[in-house]
């Protein structure tokens, strides 16, 4: 029988790659769309004829129950979130509702629909649940690299809410026997990345400067270090995590560290420019409670699930810069997306 997947956050970067991956695996894919008018579907426009959509919002319990009941999914991927970390200081309560309590609501929706259908199996219901946890939960980490056993020390309302979502997922697994797991994913990027995130802000600026549309790039902390991978690789890990005999949480990353300075140097080199001629540090873009270094110890996901990344940092930056150059040649004003804002 065709397996059904429900994806929250399908209009986001990961949602679009995951939808492509699940369709390629023969799934019937449903996406949860929020907003009553004009949802942002540009990232999945090319898949529209293959996808089905259902309305719902992670802040609204009834809508999630109705969505799960309509779709009757075998697998639910909860990728929906307000994902820009500094934005969580502007709207901390909303971020807590969506990224934290929203996870609880989806777990409850799955429980309720499973009970209604009398489909309580030995494993607590047939619906498997994936939660998009984040390396931001490590925050000011006690050790580098970070693994499944590293403690959490989040540094923002975003990180705190994700930590709640992580623990409530584990708690429902342990309490109700649900197949509910979290992938603790490190930063992953792509040409579909939002322009507010640093890699895409850089790739878009490098392309614009090369084409003469912009002169300067304002950035914050150039010393921040991240473990950046390609989003297309990371959605394979999400799917693998729901195909196991036993549910378990995994850390997913490349295990390679690069600074923001490395990212600018690499992107500007792709277009034959020197970054120091264009980049200006704006203290207003430096985060007050910064997460300085994140790097994954992903030995477990590699050993147990056979997951490996296929795109390295230099390839990733080149892919993003080339995509932005191509996009700008079609839509010269801003490459089809709004200019980057905020820190
Ligand atoms: P993204 O591009 O910002 O996409 C976020 C998605 O969440 C969008 O589809 C958005 O819908 C949806 N959403 C926002 N508020 C919602 C609500 N109230 N109810 C339902 N959906 C809502 O994020 P991403 O990069 O794809 O990341 C996917 C998930 O992984 C997120 O949970 C993120 O926190 C987590 N994560 C990401 C990374 C990374 O490096 N990318 C790393 C670790 C964890 P609209 O289009 O309607 O706004
Ligand atoms: N966005 C941004 N803009 N970041 C900047 C800038 C700038 O102008 N200048 C320096 N940075 C630094 C930030 O201070 C941070 O240390 C680093 O670049 C990465 O910032 P983002 O790309 O905004 O990502 P993030 O690490 O805060 O969060 C992303 O990864 C998390 C996983 O670790 C998001 O995708 C989160 O949703 C995700 O959970």
CA-proximal residue: ligand 2, atom 31 (nearest)? 187
162-166 average pLDDT score = 99
CA-proximal residue: ligand 2, atom 23 (nearest)? 197
pLDDT at position 342:
41
Least confident segment among 42-46, 94-98, 157-161 = 42-46
Q: Which ligand is nearest to the CA of 67?
A: 1
Mean pLDDT (the chain, rounded):
94
| pLDDT digit string, tens, across residues 59-72 | 999 999 999 999 99
**Would you say residue 120 has pLDDT above 50?**
no
16 lines ligand 1 (CB under 6 A): no
226-234 average pLDDT score = 98
CA-proximal residue: ligand 1, atom 35 (nearest)? 132
Considering the segment(s) 4-188+228-252 as one domain, its CATH architecture is: 3-Layer(aba) Sandwich (3.40)
**Would you say residue 193 has pLDDT above 60?**
yes
Instruction: Provide the pLDDT confidence category of residue 38 given band limits of 50, 70 and 90.
Output: confident
15 lines ligand 1 (CB under 6 A): yes
**Would you say residue 204 has pLDDT above 60?**
yes
Instruction: Provide the pLDDT confidence category of residue 35 given band limits of 50, 70 and 90.
Output: confident
The predicted model scores a pTM of 0.96
pLDDT at position 227:
98
309-332 average pLDDT score = 95
CA-proximal residue: ligand 1, atom 2 (nearest)? 12
Over its C-alpha atoms, the chain yields an Rg (Å, rounded) of: 20
290 lines ligand 2 (CB under 6 A): yes
**Would you say residue 270 has pLDDT above 80?**
yes
> Cα angle at 141 between 167 and 226, to 5 degrees?
100
19-23 average pLDDT score = 98
Rounded Cα gap, residues 24 and 219, in angstroms: 38
Q: Which ligand is nearest to the CA of 130?
A: 1
Point out the ligand 2 atom lying closest to the alpha carbon of residue 292.
16
Share of the chain above pLDDT 70, in %: 94
What are the sequence ranges of the domains in the chain? Answer: 4-188+228-252
**Would you say residue 122 has pLDDT above 70?**
no
Whether the link from the prior residue into 145 is cis, omega within 30° of 0, is yes
Rounded Cα gap, residues 264 and 278, in angstroms: 10
Point out the ligand 2 atom lying closest to the alpha carbon of residue 222.
10
Can 2 be counted among the known catalytic residues? Answer: no
Rounded Cα gap, residues 12 and 32, in angstroms: 11
* Best of 35, 54, 59, 80 for a ligand 1 pocket test (most atoms within 8 Å of beta carbon): 80
Give the N- to C-terminal CA distance of the chain in Å, as an integer.
47
Tokens of 8: 């929250």
**186 and 313 in contact (C-beta within 8 Å)?**
no
**5 and 130 in contact (C-beta within 8 Å)?**
no
Per annotation, catalytic residue among 163, 169, 199, 254: 163
Query: Which of these, 33, 25, 127, lies nearest to 72 by C-alpha position?
Result: 127
CA-proximal residue: ligand 2, atom 5 (nearest)? 198
**Would you say residue 119 has pLDDT above 80?**
no
219 lines ligand 2 (CB under 6 A): yes
* Best of 84, 197, 285, 292 for a ligand 2 pocket test (most atoms within 8 Å of beta carbon): 197
263-285 average pLDDT score = 98
């Amino acid at each position: 029988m065709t397996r059904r997947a429900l994806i929250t956050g399908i209009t986001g970067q990961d949602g679009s790659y995951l939808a492509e991956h699940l369709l390629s695996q023969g799934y019937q894919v449903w996406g949860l769309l929020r907003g009553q008018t004009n949802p942002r579907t540009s990232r999945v426009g090319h898949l529209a004829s293959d996808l089905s959509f259902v309305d719902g919002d992670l802040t609204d319990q009834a809508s999630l129950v109705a969505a799960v009941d309509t779709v009757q999914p075998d697998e639910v991927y909860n990728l929906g979130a307000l994902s820009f970390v500094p934005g969580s200081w502007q709207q901390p309560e909303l971020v807590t509702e969506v990224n934290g309590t929203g996870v609880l609501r989806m777990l409850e929706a799955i429980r309720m629909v499973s009970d209604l259908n009398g489909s309580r199996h030995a494993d607590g219901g047939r619906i498997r649940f994936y939660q998009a946890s984040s390396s931001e939960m490590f925050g000011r980490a006690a050790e580098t690299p970070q693994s499944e056993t590293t403690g959490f020390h989040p540094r923002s309302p975003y990180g705190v809410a994700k930590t709640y979502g992580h623990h409530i997922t584990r708690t429902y697994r342990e309490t109700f026997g649900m197949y509910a797991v979290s992938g603790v994913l490190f930063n992953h990027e792509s040409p579909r990345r939002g322009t507010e995130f640093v890699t895409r802000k850089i790739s878009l600026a490098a392309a614009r400067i090369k084409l003469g549309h912009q002169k300067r790039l304002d950035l914050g902390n150039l010393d921040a270090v991240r473990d950046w991978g390609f989003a297309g690789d990371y959605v394979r890990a999400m799917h693998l995590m729901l195909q196991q005999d036993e549910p378990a949480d995994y850390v997913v990353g490349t295990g390679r560290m690069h600074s923001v300075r490395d990212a600018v140097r690499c992107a500007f080199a792709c277009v034959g420019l020197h970054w120091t001629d264009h980049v200006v540090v704006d203290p207003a873009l430096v985060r007050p409670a910064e997460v300085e270094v994140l790097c994954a110890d992903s030995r477990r996901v590699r050993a147990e699930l056979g997951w490996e990344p296929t795109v390295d940092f230099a390839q990733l930056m080149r892919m993003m810069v080339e995509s932005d150059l191509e996009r700008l040649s079609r839509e010269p004003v801003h490459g089809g997306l709004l200019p980057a804002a905020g820190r």
